[in-house]
């Protein structure tokens, strides 16, 4: 690995690819399952009293390094979080990497080490992977797909279709930081109080929340399309109406300020370390208490409730005192946010 840049031969199935795998991938991610280098990872799922969760996500974020994270951290967080949102304990991840010819191997190392640290934070392992190299100009730097497998206790039944009238809506922390951070970096905007992505693994927080038996009906991380998209998806899938108090939604002043300058709305801005939970109203205070045991749940707030009327619609009670429909985003606010 004396090379400084990725060449097409690093993706050829030949000697250089073997070197890349041995000297970088296995050196960082190595474990008894991955090291076998078979066509599939093989493992046992011992306890039969479980369900399995399986998810996939491709990451194309631009820039690939940003305050609070990078594409590698994001790729692990995104899939760990998607598993966590089903109440699953994330176990095994795959990593499929597409690299542009000429990409700096030092940058690849940085990304891989960042993935390694995030895997450690989440207590998961990468057990299989794939590397492709495409000609210069055929992709932009690096794209990473992670898929993941998790185990769900059979008593857990969480789904975006499980919201019920009366449920309270909790958001785990201030919204929009990831999206605003990425667009600011891309546009070269500088703010007094620096913006940082909220990118984080949420499995520890979910573990705390699940200690309140049967309280959590829905969990979803507010990624593309932000809080507004997630609430609309849940209203649609659960066939319920949702009412949200704008004044209750936690938004950092730096995010508010940047959104004003950019003509964007924080409720549509992506988060990568925030979840929305729909919980039994009688257990909401217990859930909040447990959430605050985790660093990522300290800023958790109740922001609204599920109602019997205006099914499949989300209403925002604005700070100004009026009610308006909070719709799905129609236009792209920004591409390559994750």
Q: Hey, which residues between 43 and 62 contact a copy of itself (CB under 8 A)?
A: 43-46, 48, 51-60, 62
Shortest separation between residue 263's beta carbon and a copy of itself, angstroms = 16
Q: 252-291: which residues touch a copy of itself (CB under 8 A)?
A: 270
Distance CA 1, CA 22 (A): 10
Decide: is 38 part of the binding site for a copy of itself (CB under 8 A).
yes
C-beta closer to a copy of itself: residue 9 or 293: 9
Shortest separation between residue 61's beta carbon and a copy of itself, angstroms = 10
> Would you state the structure tokens that stand for residue 133, as one six-digit string?
């190299």
Distance CA 153, CA 80 (A): 17
Phi-psi region of 245 (alpha: psi -120 to 50; beta: other; left: phi over 0): beta
**Judging by DSSP bridges, how do beta strands 89-100 and 125-134 pair with one another?**
parallel
- Contact segment (CB under 8 A) with a copy of itself among 84-92, 110-118, 165-173, 204-212 equals 84-92
Binding-site size, a copy of itself (CB under 8 A)? 88
Decide: is 23 part of the binding site for a copy of itself (CB under 8 A).
no
Q: 226-255: which residues touch a copy of itself (CB under 8 A)?
A: 226, 229, 233, 237
Decide: is 330 part of the binding site for a copy of itself (CB under 8 A).
yes
C-beta closer to a copy of itself: residue 194 or 214: 214
C-beta closer to a copy of itself: residue 30 or 194: 30
Contact call for residues 271 and 222 (beta carbons, < 8 A) = yes
Distance CA 86, CA 237 (A): 15
Q: Nearest-5° angle of CA 32, CA 34, CA 39?
A: 130
> Would you state the structure tokens that stand for residue 15, as one six-digit string?
């000697």
Select from 20, 24, 95, 267 the one that contacts a copy of itself (CB under 8 A).
95
CA separation, residue 101 to residues 33, 40, 89, 109, 134 (Å)? 29, 26, 36, 15, 6
Decide: is 307 part of the binding site for a copy of itself (CB under 8 A).
no
C-beta closer to a copy of itself: residue 50 or 289: 50
Decide: is 98 part of the binding site for a copy of itself (CB under 8 A).
yes
Select from 68, 225, 241, 297 the one that contacts a copy of itself (CB under 8 A).
225
- Of the candidates 298, 70, 285, 282, the residue with the CA atom closest to the CA atom of residue 204: 298
Distance CA 91, CA 122 (A): 9
C-beta closer to a copy of itself: residue 135 or 193: 135
Shortest separation between residue 253's beta carbon and a copy of itself, angstroms = 25
C-beta closer to a copy of itself: residue 31 or 257: 31
DSSP per residue, 254-279: HHHHHHHHHT--GGGS--SS-EEEEE
> Would you state the structure tokens that stand for residue 215, as one six-digit string?
């309280």
Distance CA 227, CA 233 (A): 10
Q: 183-202: which residues touch a copy of itself (CB under 8 A)?
A: none
Q: 99-118: which residues touch a copy of itself (CB under 8 A)?
A: 101
CA separation, residue 53 to residues 81, 88, 183, 205 (Å)? 12, 6, 32, 18
Q: 130-169: which residues touch a copy of itself (CB under 8 A)?
A: 130, 132-135, 137-140, 143, 145, 147-150, 152, 159-161
C-beta closer to a copy of itself: residue 190 or 231: 231
Cis amide bond preceding 63, omega within 30: yes
- Contact segment (CB under 8 A) with a copy of itself among 65-73, 108-116, 224-232, 242-250 equals 224-232
């Amino acid at each position: 690995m004396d090379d400084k840049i990725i060449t097409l031969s690093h993706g050829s199935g030949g000697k250089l690819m073997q070197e890349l795998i041995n000297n970088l991938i296995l050196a960082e991610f190595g474990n008894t399952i991955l090291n076998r280098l078979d066509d599939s990872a093989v493992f046992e799922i011992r306890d039969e009293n479980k369900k399995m969760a399986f998810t996939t996500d491709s990451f194309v974020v631009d820039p690939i390094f940003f305050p609070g994270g990078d594409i590698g951290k994001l790729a692990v967080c995104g899939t760990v979080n998607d598993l966590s949102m089903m109440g699953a304990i994330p176990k095994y991840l795959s990593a499929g990497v597409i690299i542009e010819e000429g990409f700096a191997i030092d940058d690849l190392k940085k990304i891989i080490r960042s993935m390694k640290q995030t895997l450690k934070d989440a207590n998961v392992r990468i057990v299989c992977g794939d590397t492709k190299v495409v000609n210069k100009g055929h992709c932009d730097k690096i794209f990473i797909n992670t898929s993941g497998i998790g185990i769900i206790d059979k008593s857990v039944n969480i789904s975006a279709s499980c919201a019920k009238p009366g449920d309270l809506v909790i958001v785990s922390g201030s919204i929009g930081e990831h999206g605003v951070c990425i667009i600011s970096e891309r546009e070269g905007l500088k703010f007094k109080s620096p913006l940082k992505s909220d990118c984080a693994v949420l499995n520890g927080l979910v573990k705390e929340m699940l200690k309140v038996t049967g309280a959590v009906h829905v969990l979803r991380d507010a990624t593309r399309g932000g809080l507004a998209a997630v609430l609309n998806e849940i209203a649609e899938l659960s066939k319920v109406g949702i009412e949200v108090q704008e004044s209750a939604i936690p938004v950092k002043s730096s995010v508010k300020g940047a959104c004003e300058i950019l003509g964007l709305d924080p409720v549509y801005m992506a988060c990568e370390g925030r979840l929305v939970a729909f919980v039994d109203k009688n257990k909401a205070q217990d859930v909040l208490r447990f959430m605050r045991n985790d660093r990522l749940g300290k800023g958790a707030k109740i922001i609204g409730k599920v109602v019997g009327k205006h099914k499949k619609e989300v209403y925002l009670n604005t700070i100004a005192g009026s009610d308006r429909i909070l719709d799905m985003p129609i236009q792209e606010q920004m591409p390559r946010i994750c």
